[in-house]
Structure 1
Amino acid sequence: MRFVTRAEWGARTANVDDYPSGFGWRGVAMHYEGEASIAIDHSRCAARMRSVQNFHMDGRGWGDIAYNLAVCLHGYVFEGRGKDVRSASQGTTEANHDYYGVLCFLGEASWAPYAYRPTADMVEGIKDAIAYLRRYGAGTEIIGHRDVRSTSCPGEPLYSMVQDGSLDPGSSSGGTTHIVQPGETLKGIANRYGVPYTYIAEVNGLEYPDYPIVSGQELVIPGRGQELDDPHPGTTTPPGGSYTPFPGTEWFKGAPNSPIVTEMGRRLVAEGHGLYKIGPGPQWSDVDRQSYASWQRSLGYSGADADGWPGLTSWDRLRVPDAGVSPGPVSYEPFPGPDWFRNNPNSPIVTAMGTRLVAEGCSAYQSGPGPQWSDADRQSYALWQEKLGYSGADADGWPGQSSWDRLRVPRQSTAEYEPFPGADWFRNSPNSSVVTAMGNRLVVERCSRYEVGPGPRWSDVDRQSYALWQEKLGFSGTAADGWPGQVSWDALKVPKQTAGSTEPFPGADWFRSSPRSTIVTAMGHRLVAEGCAVYEVGPGPQWSDADRESYANWQRKLGYSGTGADGWPGQSSWDRLGVPFT
């Protein structure tokens, strides 16, 4: 792109010590000036930019120009607040969080229709500006200012282009090389990569006006949204030209949360292989793996070599900029011992084990995996044992030292996080410090719809905020309906609020007193999950005959009989049920 820095257009120093960063994750909002631009000759565009900044700082009393970028009629992109900085142009705090602001030097005036309608050069400049912001984490939405506030901005001609998609730079954004084939033209090549042919001509030194190319010639295709004098036009290379060394395949299989993942995602977007709806972000997710698989296929890989798990060769060719952090060493969970699994554990280790089994093609899960050890975990592990060549009693699904060591389950964080309370727990409108802690994490992740709070009572605004988090992770449809699920909950890392992850046994007499408590509801949900429920309605907080009959089924499932399976909870069967702490 043809980029004009703040220094080049003569920007004043902002009256802001430190801009809030990390915004624009939903996309870009388009603006116009509201009055006809007088910068018809390009030599006057820098002065127009200074005029806008002066008005915002002196007339409005703001700390700087409100827009992140601006585009003139001649297709040049002017740096305003810049990338990764919160806009002040949308009119609401929420929209400033969600969208970058791009100003176009357009305005409404009957005497200056040329200043009201975007020129062809301006359209290319707008595409450059959007591609540039996407390289630094902007989402894929393109909206008009009127979509977030009652206003005529950005004018009918520009807004119609917002609506019909003609401002979208697309996912094929250059940043590669191309060998000219017989019969190809420069314009045809430019259309293939979604980059103006004049940009390709300039980068490759092709002579005006014919721009001659010949079969077999190698052309550099510049990355849309980068300066044309960039020595590495296909990458977002940081100062010094350094790249992140390959962290190792196992590092990714441990579901890291790291700036390295963000930088990788940005490069995948730049290469036209980003499948993100929102992001990319620091948490490794299925959409990262899907995007990387697309990159591997573009390099000619197939089958297991294009499974989305990064390898050394494909990583080196992606050229991920140095994120300034170390991935850290990869370590694995030590074998917890055979009895640990037979005690029906509820632990992140079980989730990590299940994730590895899925990656190895040994999944018997219909949903999950999750932290609660289940028959599906055992069946999946049996498939893993059989894959290793075991049979009979050695492939019964109970983990052993040798098979565990070969599975290489990534070590789980020593930090204490809230285990997933279960989907039904949220649908019962809980009032809990866990909900508050969840809301605080959503605020930190910039997925907040809260006007006041968050607080302990589950509400529609919690669900709306959680839906934003699910969308940020790449989920869509019913998978982003705002009801928490195991995978999204684990990725959110809600700090632990309770003394224990499960309810301690309340005592036999407590149940015989016919209690009414959320503990009874939680117990019932666990009995449903274990396939032991006989409820026609519920479960609910009031202890009932249906609770007792369901619990008796659980006792029989554990092997009890007679008075040991009379439906009155006991210490051993209660501990093995793993009722979430309420």
Structure 2
Amino acid sequence: MTLKIISRATWGAKPWNGTPASVPLSKRTEFYVHYDGAHHITRTGYAIMRAIEAEHLGNGWSGVGYNFVIDQAGNIYEGRGWGLQGAHCPDHNTTGIGVQFAIGGDQEPSAKALAACRALYEEAGKKTGRTLAKRGHRDGFATACPGTKLYAWVKAGMPAGNYEAAPNPGGSLPSGGSEVSRAQVTISDLTYGYGAKGDHVTKVGRALVKKGFGKHYTSGPGPTWTDADTRNYQDYQESLGYSGADADGVPGVTSLKELLGTLPGKVTAKPAPPFPGVGKFGPGKSNASITLLGQQLVRKGYGKHYTSGPGPKWSDSDRKNVRDFQLAHASLKGDADGIPGPLTWKLLFS
């Protein structure tokens, strides 16, 4: 069996925004399965990878965070590949190879996608010389990912039929063709691309018109992103020197910032949830506040002691992780007992 992996160069990846660290295959011990979240995925072909790349670059990452991505046709795309550290599961990005299925919500993974993932898993075993642990994202982090259906498949041992390499999917046609990209991307917590709605869509359209790229509008612009927005944005991208896969009419971080002067809608810090009281934490306790605490510890990078969970039952792992957080903050070192008080809670959620 020859495994076909579509390279970064083929799908049109941008240069790394700071090259990720190298990881020797000897350190790989886990194989993590992910999905795209709560929403159905309708984009196809190379647009899948460009959308993921735009979102991850918007997060300030080096590029696509997954090592590989698999679409419903059974195509396997290179993200960070075999030798680079991923950005897909905190505390497991070195040991774990992260693979995303390009599906979301209650979408059924196709037989071709499952077969491709199984083949990729077996290839990983050959390259590392060991049997990798099969994991869903939720096994290493407090999340619903990879969804109920994929997680059940992982826990069943990842059964699949025979793998057959799919033909190259290709990308969207150039401006003026009969088809335009229907991909969506999320940049600074706002969605762009076909079907996106909101004042930010209108703002992009007006900026395009102001710069002389509004010829495809017959109404609007905004508040709903249409094919006209995509064609106009594609014209704008080409004026900046983009071509091919990079000029698909779907905004990227660089071109959007160039158009608007700034990236709108950056996520602002949410106020800390009310402190539930010291009595909610400690041996024998079990409640939602413990789960919330653990999830935030993981987000902040203080989850190394968890082997399951976090929450809802208090464990010694919670105490150790809280203590690590307290010891890392000068104002908490004098009371680093592993039990969160009001100040620990405030700093943790700030």
TM (norm. structure 1) is: 0.27
Greater helix fraction, Structure 1 or Structure 2: 1
TM-score (norm 2): 0.43
Point out the structure with max Rg over C-alpha. 1
